[in-house]
Structure 1
Amino acid sequence: MFMAIDRRAAAETWLRTRGADGIDHPGGTLLAHLGRVRTLLAEWGAAGDVQLAGLCHAAYGTDGFDVALLPPDERPVLAEVIGPEAEALVYLYGGCDRGRTYPELARPVVTFTDRFGGGRHVPPESDLRAFMEITAANELDVVRHNCELADRHGAALAALFDRTRRHLSAPATHAWTAFASRSRPAT
């Protein structure tokens, strides 16, 4: 527990030194968003490495957010701060080619396409589950803090997380089910 707290504090400091507290993001700054994602993951019972990965999930940018705090060829820098296991999850998340990978997410075995190098691989089930938890927490925070994005993408995201529930924890599934039920228009 002490080590995880130290790594979290180190990660928050590192994110500030990389300017995350000055980058606009739905709900304030990128740093505020990253902190909320980590908090959601903690509330859902995610392991410490998954929480650290959630806190740093946008370090290399993402397929949906092109601001990078660090180029992917400097992965050892982030690994030194949050540990190699958490960094590998950050790379999996940031490197995901969503257009090629998301259509496979409902399958039991998912092949990821790396947007940085174009390679394809099947991550271990534990990494896939961590990826899905981070994805669910990230997207939930975004739609909670941006009504326009919620209106435009909320229903499709809720459907995605319903189809992929085999890879999600019960708390993550419940959070998205609750979001979807509140977002439905009255009939």
Structure 2
Amino acid sequence: MSDRAVARLRELGAQEVPHPGGTLLLHLERVRDLLASWGARPALQRAGLCHAFYGTDGFATALLPLARRGHLAEVIGDEAESIVYLYAACDRAATYPTLHHTGAAFRDRFTGRVHRPAERARRDLAEVSAANELDLARIDPVFREAWGGELRSLFGRWRGLLSEPARRECRAVLGDGWESAAGSAPCRGNGGRG
């Protein structure tokens, strides 16, 4: 399925969309590979590969309109597509600050609907978000300098949602002490990328 997804990304021009570290396609492949290195299940890896299909709260470029969700589901499977939608629909300012709380509210930026995702969905969202942001922080020193403090705070709050390999990657990219940096400042994520 991953090969089919990469082929679809190429058909839609992801290899021509500029992105830190090269192109959007290269970033998406790095996110998938990072999730794989963390031992993520195949559906979560495919979601990481396709996380920007509908655009995101931090990256407006959409490769497919929401009306074509079924087309993406045919390529990557229903479970992976639902994670892609969750990631794309996340209103970061409203959702990120409390995602780590049981029963946290999730605001869908497309519909305005507020709901309470199950723990697995919150973990999936945190894991894809961490892989996305950590790839950007690793590949782009300017990004890391600008957003590293907010990411340390965000991932410090989310440490209970993140897998152990994701927590190790946070330490490697953001430095020691990131787990104690869980301040109360809201984090919108990456300042307009991914």
Q: Same fold (TM over 0.5)?
A: yes
Q: CA deviation at 1:179?
A: 1.9
User: CA offsets per residue over residues 56-83 of structure 1, 9 Å max, x none?
Assistant: 0000000000000011121101001101
Unaligned 5+ segments in structure 2 are 179-194
Q: Does 1:50 align with 2:44?
A: yes
* 1:46-125 map, 5 Å: 46-125=40-119
Q: CA deviation at 1:180?
A: 2.2
2:16 to 1, 16, 22: 22
TM-score when scaled to structure 2?
A: 0.88
Q: Distance in 2 between matches of 1:62 and 1:56?
A: 11
Give 2:158's aligned residue.
164
Q: CA deviation at 1:163?
A: 1.1
Q: CA deviation at 1:106?
A: 2.8
Q: CA deviation at 1:138?
A: 0.2
Q: Distance in 2 between matches of 1:182 and 1:12?
A: 35
1:10–1:81 CA contact under 8 A, matched in 2: yes
Give 1:3's aligned residue.
none
Q: Distance in 1 between matches of 2:29 and 2:56?
A: 17
Q: CA deviation at 1:183?
A: 10
Give 1:129's aligned residue.
123
Larger RCO, structures 1/2 (Cα 8 Å, 6+ apart): 2
1:158–1:179 CA contact under 8 A, matched in 2: no
1:162–1:177 CA contact under 8 A, matched in 2: no
* One-letter amino acid of the structure 2 residue matched with residue 176 of structure 1: C
Tell me how large the CA RMSD over aligned residues is.
1.4
Q: CA deviation at 1:178?
A: 2.2
Q: CA deviation at 1:168?
A: 0.6
Q: CA deviation at 1:147?
A: 1.6
Which has the larger share of helix? Answer: 1
Percentage of pairs with the same residue: 50
TM-score when scaled to structure 1?
A: 0.91
Report runs of 4+ in structure 1 exceeding 4 Å deviation.
none
Q: Distance in 2 between matches of 1:74 and 1:166?
A: 34
* Count of residue correspondences: 178
Give 2:31's aligned residue.
37
Unaligned 5+ segments in structure 1 are 1-6
